[in-house]
Structure 1
Amino acid sequence: MYKHLRFKDDVVEGKSTAGEFTVKLLDLNEPTVVSYRQSVTQLIEAMLAQLHRLDNVYARLSALAEKGGEGRDKLLSTIKQIEIDIAKAKRALEQLTAQPF
């Protein structure tokens, strides 16, 4: 289908006669469908930003935990929770994008 269709933002455009026919037949640019596509795109962007933040916090806390000292056990507990949150975010992104993270 990549030969016949392309995205322009959240709208599907036909690149060929077959593509134009498909867009019309399946009503790929019906307002509700475009709105849904926009929502999914925004969700993916938000999930990527969250994953980036979690990765940064994970790195900073891991560096602190390596230094040891008082509160290390609490840091390690927090790090484990962040690892779980990172895994959840990656699974969600994989489901939304059908790509590995």
Structure 2
Amino acid sequence: MNDYKKKMLSVEEFSQKANITVTYARQLLREGKIRGIKLGKEWRVDNKEVDIYLGITTDIEIVRKDMYIKELETKLKNYEMQINTFRNIVGTLGNIVGI
């Protein structure tokens, strides 16, 4: 089985994944509310379309953005720790000098 067929679900598989009836799944396909391909008498639905219908986003750009945000949050915490360390050093030096 090639990669293309692995990404495609039958109506029955789609309905199970989406927790809807097969009849409703076919209705969604007929009405164009979810995109699919009709091969003969059977519909096939791309996994991405199912994820979109379910509200699941797996876009690589979203993942990269989330990773970048985590990286920035980590840097911010490090900078806050450095600032607190410098404040403590200044306080200690102030006590030594008698300020």
Shorter-normalised TM-score: what interval? 0.3 to 0.5
TM-score by length of 2: 0.43
Higher RCO structure (Cα 8 Å, ≥6 apart): 2
Larger radius of gyration: 2
TM-score by length of 1: 0.42
